[in-house]
Structure 1
Amino acid sequence: MKSLFKIYRRYIFSAGWIAAAVILVNMCVLMVVGAYFASQSRENPDSGGRRRIIEVSSYMNREENGHPYLEGEGYKALEDTGAEFAFLLDNSGRRIWSWEVPEEIPVHFTLGEVASFTRWYLKDYPVRVWNCDEGLLVIADAKDKVGKYTVEMSRSSIRKLPVFLLVIMTANLLLVLILAVLSGYRLYSSLRPVASGIDGLVSGRRILVPEQGLTGELGKKLNQASAVLEIQRRNLEQRDTARTEWISGVSHDIRTPLSMVMGYADNLENKEELPEEDRKQAAIIKEQSLKIKTLIEDLNLTSKLEYQMQPLRMEEYIPAALLRLAAVSFLNGGLAEEYELETDIQEELEGVVMQGDVRLLTRALNNLIGNSIRHNSRCRIEVKGELVSGNGLTLCRIAVKDDGKGIPAEIRNILTEDRNLRAAPGKADNRGESPIMGKPYIMGKPHIMGLRIVKQIVNAHGGRMDFSADGREVILYLPAAGTLEERKERKNRKWWEILWYGDVKGE
């Protein structure tokens, strides 16, 4: 949290100095513009100073002998406005009337002196002048009260004032943009190592983020998290490697004595001098030994698939031919009369070519068909293949359906949910048997090795497995690569087409 507060504080500081810089620049501009308009306002009779001197001049009159005087309202106006002194000059520059004039102020002014104090100051007193009927009226303010500056602008400059304002606004926007980019780049440079470190954590790499600067504390935390994850990853790898090696070693150790048991059982089964009952028992021993051998192979395969240790022998295949071949292998293998096996392949699927490990995909189909046979005393099995489209993708939909009792919801839930598929808790009755198809539990858990292997094979090919609502249909979705026509077109491409469009291997 301290590191986040530090970033927040740096962000506030950056925003503050950007705002201060913009305000400073605008203050300078406003001072210039204000001085300009102030100079213009001096010639405006509506300004405060002009109103005051005009008001006072309105109370200026002459006596019968021609001597000027100020009416009482005029003196009141001078006092109310805080004037320092006032006097009146005739055309020759001689002072003919005065009010509170200091001794340092002359009684006679030349034309040049009048022109000078009219524009600037009179003995450091800021003054205003007004040419009335009685003469030139001069009213002065205190020395430190008013500052006088002269700003002149040509009419062409005034006409260009809108352009000037537009330039000021544009300059402000550019200034803010430049300062924001510089500040943002500094923050980006500080956060970039942190972002790279997070990407490294996501990809499972060991990272080392700099632990200084604005994000130093965040970098330290990431490095600590990376070290912890690295230790956990190594422990998991060691555990998985040990588990896989143990399964492989046990399977290898069992394979040799199991082969001997199967060989002796086969010899006993074929010995005619043995009683019929003994030969039947030898056949049962051989059959059960074969099941044990299949289970060992399944255990090895599912372990390798789970830890991505089973290499996929990718090759092009035609899914329609693969489905027919799987069905034919069961029919030619002596399928009992109680079972019917049919294929229903969509015409559009006939010309589709896909990429995959044909051996593993065949194993998945054999498991699905074999499950329907093993768990139903009689049923009709249908293997269906078709193309489906959705979300801009074309998928090959393979379904194995039977009219038997179906896969129980408990097993479907285990396979559908993203859970640990090694085993799931079950409820055994008093006889120690599972209510699921009457099959015994292994350590109190249902045996779903065959379907689990099917799901792992499909996942390894980038597909997914689903079930129908009644559990009588298992559906496999695999990504379709292309068609035979497209493959022919690729082979017939000109060199310039390959250079322009590219040629992805495996398309």
Structure 2
Amino acid sequence: MKWKLTVQYLISILFIVFVVIFVNLLVLLGLLAYQQTHGNDSLSDETGETFTRQFSQYLSMENGQPAISEKGIEELKKFGGWLQVLDQNGQVVTSALAPDEAPSHYSPVELVHKYKYLDEQYTTHYIGQFEDYSYLLGVQHSAEERFVIMFNAQSVTTYVSKAIMWITIADLLIAMLIGLLFSSIITKPVSYMIDRISQLKKRNFSVQKTTRHGIFKPVFSNLNAVSETLEAHEEERRKLEKMREEWISNVSHDLKTPLASIQGFSELLKEPDITESERADYAEIIEQKSIYMKELLDDFNLTMRLRNQEMPLNREGTRLERFVRELVIEVLNDSKYSEHAITFKSSGEDSMRQIDRHLMKRAILNFINNAIVHNDPDTEITVSVTETGITIEDNGKGIAKKDIEQIFNRYYRGSNTENIEGTGLGLAISKDIIEAHGGSVTLTSEIGKGTKVEVLL
């Protein structure tokens, strides 16, 4: 994988270099072509050759002789030059701004010599054509310099082709060396990232330490964060799977017992010699076991809906103090719990809360019922309404430390619940209901001193 990435990177680098060279050549050729075919509007901004070729526009024939216009003389002054017009024999027929020492006649050889070389006054000469006349334009101390180069076009073409080829090869070699250097820096961490993603795909969530992160440091950091998150989710999934298996085992056991009773007493009802009193007792037992099974299935359905956030809340404006006081009175009016010492207190204002009364009632009653059924009859239970929520506190047996950590888990039964009837979902349901309202539940307990449940709303 590493070498594959390196080769791909090198191919990309070489392709980019080749494209850059090709584009540079096109730009160079385009500029040369533009310069040859286009000129500037102002003569004063042109080169000497261009100025000379275009100066013929300021020449005209008057009385059979060439004449220079006033505009032409102004342009000569701007350009810093002078002009002499020659006939076919090299004789000067008219001039403008020419120095006194300028010759009045030129032979062909002299014209060629002046065009090619500077004279003693460092004057650069240019030659133009106007009808049957030629004109010589001189510029003293010109910023331009003329070099005469003789070359063979075929040789130059061959030379330029070879030069371009070797320059291209050299550029590609340099790009390859630089590409190899940088590819070792870039492709190595990329290859490592691909391996790490492959490990995550195989559910290997271990966090790995690496050195020389370079520009990929945030990527490695995020990969490790993803590994930690996935590991936490995997651990949570394993816990839920274990609890689900335990719950299925408990539910299966809890269902087998009432089902066995229902089946047994149903068979007894078929006996012809049973009395009406026995028949009524058997029917009552069957009814009780059926109700228990229904409650078990209802709790299972409710906890699943709460867990998947599929339980809509029917919120109503409720005065919290009055609501909790009525719950405590309802518990005390139950004949099963009328002898228990349950006290109601309120240390805050009777604040208004938006709650689902039915679900919140079930959650709070679950906490109170647990305090009752898991403790001795003489246990004192205090239900308090505070500014932040509700507190249920008792001075009973307390809960073992190992059970506190899992007390709100679904399907979990504590070590002191062997002889207690119930589905094992009560506290989990209560916690889910509170959290569905945007609240939270905390439980503290100590063996022999009691338990305290705080519901924060």
TM-score, normalised on structure 1?
0.36
TM-score normalised by structure 2 residue count: 0.39
**Highest RCO, 1 vs 2 (Cα 8 Å, sep ≥ 6):** 2
